[in-house]
Amino acid sequence: MKFQLRYGLHSIATGFRTLSWTCGLLCAVAAYGQESMRSFAVDTPSVHDPVMAFENGTYHLYSTGNGLSHYTSHDMKHWTGCRQGAITDIPQWTHDSVPGFTQHVWAPDIIQFNGRWYLSYACSTFGKNTSAIGLLSKSSLNSDEPWHDEGCILASRGGRDNWNAIDPNVIVAQDGTPWLTFGSFWDGIQLVRLDSSLHVASGERPFTIARRYAPTHPNVADNPTSDEAGPNAIEAPFIYFHRGWYYLFVSWDYCCQGMKSTYRIAVGRSRQIMGPYLDSHGHDMLKGGGDILFEGDKKEFEAVGHCAVYTVKGKPMLICHGYSIARGGTPVLVKRNLKFNAHGLSLAK
């Protein structure tokens, strides 16, 4: 049986299965076969900022956590979680770049590029933009091969940069060029061209593709040397290509507060990866535009956010975390099918 899994613009053949992806992970990781395991509840692993990859019949789910959380499944319903994080030895450069950084690694992304898996991840401290995005690689997710540290993709500094180097997402454009989108608060969502090693291409600098400013507050863009995040509550970008359009998914408002979280997912689209990304009313996301796609229903989830999008068995699927009301605000894995139409897209269970 042919199985297709698409993500962004990446496709590979594995036996009778065709994959296509765009997502990332994290720093020096322990071999998969050496990790101790335990079983988790059906379809409800506790995760934050989840991303997924598929290789030879196994789904790999990675998320924010101490050493990076890692789960595996053969059906996306029954998940087995690692007793210890995937990362056992964070490279020293992360601590040198981000004083105060611990083993708590943020917001992974994973992509298969030129036949090799690449994991990107964020190192930071809460509420500050002295941050860095790192990169790891290995040839197979199912092997005992250790992750190889590929160093730092880029870093931000408080008082120097008006952007925050966290929440990475790598996508390969239709012309084969890899790009990195990232960002949280400050001047919003950034995009920068990468080279074939998935590091920032020579002479390139990040530029803003989406903002969300509170009208009653001074724009943080007016004060680029500030160490404070300001009111621009937008982060967690993810770009997905579908039928001639690049879709930019972002999270608005606030995560990480359990039942007080206000996260929600917004989206816009563009014919070009560099933008402009417009919502269904023609408003540019660079000027605060965006359509609300998914938010807490106050019945099952208080809030939802930090999504990734893939095509699974021919159908677009969004995954994210939701703050479960039944579990007192614990973040859990959420999956929703996506439906695209001439004017945008909608969610279906």
Asked if residue 203 is part of any domain, the answer here is yes
Asked if residue 69 is part of any domain, the answer here is no
Asked if residue 167 is part of any domain, the answer here is yes
Helices and strands (H, E) in the chain, number of each type: 1, 25
Q: How far apart are CA 171 and CA 238, in angstroms?
A: 9
Asked if residue 140 is part of any domain, the answer here is yes
Domains of the chain: total: 1
Asked if residue 63 is part of any domain, the answer here is no
Query: What is the pLDDT at residue 277?
Result: 98
Binding residues for substrate: 49, 127, 164-167, 184-186
Q: What are phi and psi of 95, to 5 degrees?
A: -70, -35
Asked if residue 65 is part of any domain, the answer here is no
Binding residues: 49, 127, 164-167, 184-186
Q: Of 202, 196, 148, nearest to 170 (Cα)?
A: 196
Is residue 259 helix, strand or coil? helix
Per-residue pLDDT of the chain (349 residues; tens, 9 = 90+): 322 333 333 332 222 222 333 333 333 333 333 334 454 545 789 999 999 999 999 999 999 998 888 899 999 999 988 766 667 778 889 988 898 888 789 999 999 999 999 999 999 988 899 999 999 999 999 987 888 999 999 999 998 999 999 999 999 999 999 999 999 999 999 999 999 999 999 999 999 999 987 554 444 555 454 566 667 899 999 999 999 999 999 999 999 999 999 999 999 999 999 999 999 999 999 999 999 999 999 999 999 999 999 988 889 999 999 999 999 999 999 999 999 987 777 776 6
Query: What is the pLDDT at residue 219?
Result: 47
Catalytic-labelled residue, pool 150, 235, 279, 291: 235
How big is the chain, counted in residues? 349
Query: What is the pLDDT at residue 227?
Result: 60
Catalytic-labelled residue, pool 49, 109, 149, 161: 49
Asked if residue 86 is part of any domain, the answer here is no
213 within 8 A of 232, measured Cβ to Cβ: yes
CATH number for the domain spanning 221: value is 2.115.10.20
Query: What is the pLDDT at residue 87?
Result: 72
Query: What is the pLDDT at residue 91?
Result: 87
Q: How far apart are CA 173 and CA 235, in angstroms?
A: 21
Asked if residue 99 is part of any domain, the answer here is no
* 295 catalytic residue (yes or no): no
Domain that holds residue 226: 3-27+110-348
Query: What is the pLDDT at residue 147?
Result: 85
CA 246 distance to own-chain centroid:
16
Pairing, β 301-312 against β 315-324:
antiparallel
* 228 catalytic residue (yes or no): no
